Amino acid sequence: GQQLNQSPQSMFIQEGEDVSMNCTSSSIFNTWLWYKQDPGEGPVLLIALYKAGELTSNGRLTAQFGITRKDSFLNISASIPSDVGIYFCAGPGISGGSNYKLTFGKGTLLTVNP
Amino acid sequence: SAVISQKPSRDICQRGTSLTIQCQVDSQVTMMFWYRQQPGQSLTLIATANQGSEATYESGFVIDKFPISRPNLTFSTLTVSNMSPEDSSIYLCSVEPPDGHNEQFFGPGTRLTVL
């Protein structure tokens, strides 16, 4: 089956620093999704990417869909304490799976020190 | 997007009992999904619940253990049957809006602890 490798597993940063995390896939994805999960909550969709090479921003967040369609990154600029949480990449693959079943990365736990 | 609610938000249950989790959406959707998130882990799809047909279960999940109902386009239930401590997890429902492009929106989750 499809696998997503997400890194880093965790990050400890100071408020104001920029953050970068990425996901790579063993197979081609036709959509990349980035979610954030706060403690005790369900994941919230941050950014959705639909085309290879696409670069999309949402406030201080920027994400890109890799040209090979097997990777994506998420950047957070000028981090603030409320950025704390777990960030997941996800996507429905093309090969080996139906186009609506999401595969999730293992998550990146972000801690921001004020 | 869609607004999704789940009941209960959390529960503590005894071994051997069953719990039914409800998921309500504020709009009609075809695709609804149930996920399990074990402590400190990522999300794992349990099954896809489409209105008017049997749920489709992922490898490792069976209908006897996780029966699902989907009586209409805005509601679904997941039952965790004959629970054991290993079933302690967060259970999440999600939907894909009709005009969506594979993105899914999640409910707040049900935190289940089995003693």
- Bridge-based pairing of strands A10-14 and A108-113 is parallel
Please give the structure tokens belonging to residue A48. 């959705």
> Phi first, then psi: what are they for A48, rounded to 5°?
-120, 135
Q: Which of A101, A103, A108 to mutate to test the interface with B (most CBs of B within 10 A)?
A: A101
The secondary structure of B80-102 as a DSSP string is E-S--GGG-EEEEEEEE-TT-SS
B64-72 average pLDDT score:
96
CB contact under 8 A, A106 and B106: no
Relative to beta strand B75-80, strand B19-25 is antiparallel
Total CB pairs under 8 A between chain A and B: 55
- What SS3 state is found at A23? strand
pLDDT in tens, B80-89: 999 999 999 9
- Region B12-37: mean pLDDT is 95
Nearest residue to B97 (alpha-carbon basis) of B35, B36, B26, B40: B26
**With 90 as the cut, is the pLDDT of residue B38 above it?**
yes
Average pLDDT score over residue span B99-110 = 88
Q: How far apart are CA B115 and CA B111, in angstroms?
A: 13
Instruction: For chain A, say whether B11 makes contact (Cβ under 8 Å).
Output: no
pLDDT digits (tens, 9 = 90+) for A37-84: 998 899 999 999 999 999 999 999 999 999 999 999 999 999 999 999
Chain A closest-CA separation from residue B61 CA (Å): 15
Contacts of B109 in chain A (CB under 8 A): 40-42
Q: What confidence score (pLDDT) does residue A28 get?
A: 87
Q: Is the pLDDT of residue B115 over 70?
A: yes
Instruction: Identify the CA nearest to B7 among candidates B91, B104, B99.
Output: B91
What pLDDT, on the 0 to 100 scale, is given for residue B91? 98
pLDDT over 90 (residue B20): yes
Among A89-103, B53-67, B101-115, which is the least confidently predicted range? A89-103
The larger pLDDT score, comparing residue A93 to residue B11, is at B11
- For B52, how many CA atoms within 13 A lie in the half-sphere containing its CB? 4
Q: Which residues of B touch A48 (CB under 8 A)?
A: 101, 103
Tell whether B24 is within 8 A of chain A (Cβ). no
Q: Tell whether the model's pLDDT for residue A99 goes beyond 60.
A: no
